[in-house]
């Protein structure tokens, strides 16, 4: 078993990390979270006091601290990022410095420290708009924004880096949904759900664009699996990880149906967000036996439960739930 080995999770105090880190601790890993903690330090609930949790409050652009943080680490899961288009565009220089420029230094630090596995959280947005009914990993990439372009360039840098005994894995997740202790309401399913719950009205931007979705619980399962999958099955391989591909209009309908006991109206407004794609995730199933178990509908139910239990304070306005608002509030640079 992996007991006591250390996993370094950069950006581990974000939406994904706040769900992933407690699970890794439960499984016996020591977890070192390297994060600026923009969304708070106590995002791991009871796991915050776990003896095997180490918090490093630092910037991945700080090479010296990054090198120290890689010491004694078995695997890196690299999540730290300005993690959507609008917050990236808020300050493109900042976005580039974190999402692209800091990347080679992190990979080199991991190699120098003898890290045996590096898992990079890329994005399925690297595909841009594709005509194929479902996009597989080897499809041409036409990233439409710098956020997506830099994800792709980091993938390329990771692949180009000498292996040196390090297993390199690329993950291209769908858009995530569902509840996590560090909540995000700037993701399609989550925002439509909270609008429905709070105001009884869902505002659909565009509607025809297809989006691949994945419940955050399955995202966590995928990272757990990729940490221990045999190197020969994952080395240098990009994996799409998605489940249900829906149009934005269909997501809105699904939210309305799932919350059938609420009175919900749908409003359609035009959008200039043209990203539209459906991903195919057969590779991770065929290669590693990974099948999603948690639906988008389940994500809607769980958010509704958290809201009704009062676990989501002022969800439409609280900057902690919206990356762009929080970065503006902090004056991030």
Binding site for ligand NAD (CB under 6 A): 11, 13-17, 35-39, 59-61, 79-81, 83, 98, 121, 123, 173, 175-176, 182, 184, 187, 323
- Three-state SS letters, the chain: CCCCCEEEEECCCCHHHHHHHHHHHHCCCEEEEEECCCCCCCCCHHHHHCCCEEEEECCCCCHHHHHHHHCCEEEEEECCCCCCHHHHHHCHHHHHHHHHHCHHHHHHHHHHCCCCEEEEECCHHHHCCCCCCCECCCCCCCCCCHHHHHHHHHHHHHHHCCCCCCEEEEEEECEEECCCCCCCCCCHHHHHHHHHHHHCEEEEECCCCEEEEEEHHHHHHHHHHHHHCCHHHHCCEEEEECCEEEEHHHHHHHHHHHCCCCCCEEEEECCCCCCCCCECCHHHHHHHCCCCCCCHHHHHHHHHHHHHCCCCCCCCCCHHHCHHHHHHHHCCC
Smallest distance, Å, CB 18 to ligand NAD? 8
Q: How far apart are CA 257 and CA 330, in angstroms?
A: 38
Smallest distance, Å, CB 50 to ligand NAD? 18
Complex with ligand NAD: residue 182 or 256, whichever CB lies closer: 182
Smallest distance, Å, CB 248 to ligand NAD? 14
Smallest distance, Å, CB 149 to ligand NAD? 13
Complex with ligand NAD: residue 6 or 240, whichever CB lies closer: 240
Complex with ligand NAD: residue 268 or 324, whichever CB lies closer: 324
Nearest residue to ligand NAD, scored by beta-carbon proximity = 14
Complex with ligand NAD: residue 211 or 256, whichever CB lies closer: 211
Complex with ligand NAD: residue 36 or 52, whichever CB lies closer: 36
Smallest distance, Å, CB 177 to ligand NAD? 8
Smallest distance, Å, CB 136 to ligand NAD? 17
Complex with ligand NAD: residue 268 or 319, whichever CB lies closer: 319
Complex with ligand NAD: residue 66 or 264, whichever CB lies closer: 66
Q: How far apart are CA 169 and CA 189, in angstroms?
A: 27
Smallest distance, Å, CB 200 to ligand NAD? 25
CA-nearest of 110, 223, 224, 225 to 161 is: 110
Complex with ligand NAD: residue 184 or 256, whichever CB lies closer: 184
Smallest distance, Å, CB 259 to ligand NAD? 21
């Amino acid at each position: 078993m992996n007991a006591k080995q250390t996993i370094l999770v950069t950006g581990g105090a974000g939406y994904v990390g706040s769900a992933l880190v407690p699970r890794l601790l439960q499984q016996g890993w020591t977890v070192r979270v390297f994060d600026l903690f923009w969304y708070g330090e106590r995002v791991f609930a009871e796991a915050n006091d776990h003896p095997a949790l180490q918090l490093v409050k630092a910037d991945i652009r700080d090479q010296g601290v990054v090198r120290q943080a890689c010491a004694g680490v078995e695997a890196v899961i690299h999540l730290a990022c300005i993690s959507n288009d609008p917050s990236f565009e808020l300050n493109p220089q900042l976005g580039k410095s974190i999402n692209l420029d800091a990347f080679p230094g992190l990979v080199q630090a991991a190699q120098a420290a003898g890290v045996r596995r590096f898992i990079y959280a890329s994005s399925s947005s690297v595909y841009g708009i594709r005509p194929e009914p479902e996009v597989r990993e080897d499809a041409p990439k036409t990233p439409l924004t710098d956020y997506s372009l830099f994800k792709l360039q980091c993938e390329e840098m990771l692949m180009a880096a000498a292996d040196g005994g390090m297993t390199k894995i690329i993950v291209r997740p769908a858009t995530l949904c569902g509840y996590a202790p560090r909540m995000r309401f700037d993701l399609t399913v989550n925002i439509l759900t909270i609008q429905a719950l709070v105001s009884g009205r869902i505002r659909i931007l565009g509607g025809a664009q297809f989006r691949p979705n994945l419940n955050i619980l399955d995202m966590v399962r995928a990272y757990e699996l990729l940490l221990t999958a045999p190197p020969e099955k994952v080395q240098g391989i990009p994996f799409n990880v998605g489940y249900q591909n829906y149009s934005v209009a269909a997501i809105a309908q699904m939210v309305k149906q799932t919350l059938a006991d609420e009175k919900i109206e749908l409003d359609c407004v035009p959008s200039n967000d043209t990203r539209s794609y459906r991903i195919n995730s057969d590779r991770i199933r065929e290669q590693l036996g990974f099948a999603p178990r948690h639906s988008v509908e389940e994500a809607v139910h769980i958010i509704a439960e958290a809201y009704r239990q009062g676990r989501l304070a002022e969800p439409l306005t609280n900057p902690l739930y919206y990356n762009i608002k929080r970065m503006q509030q902090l004056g991030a640079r």
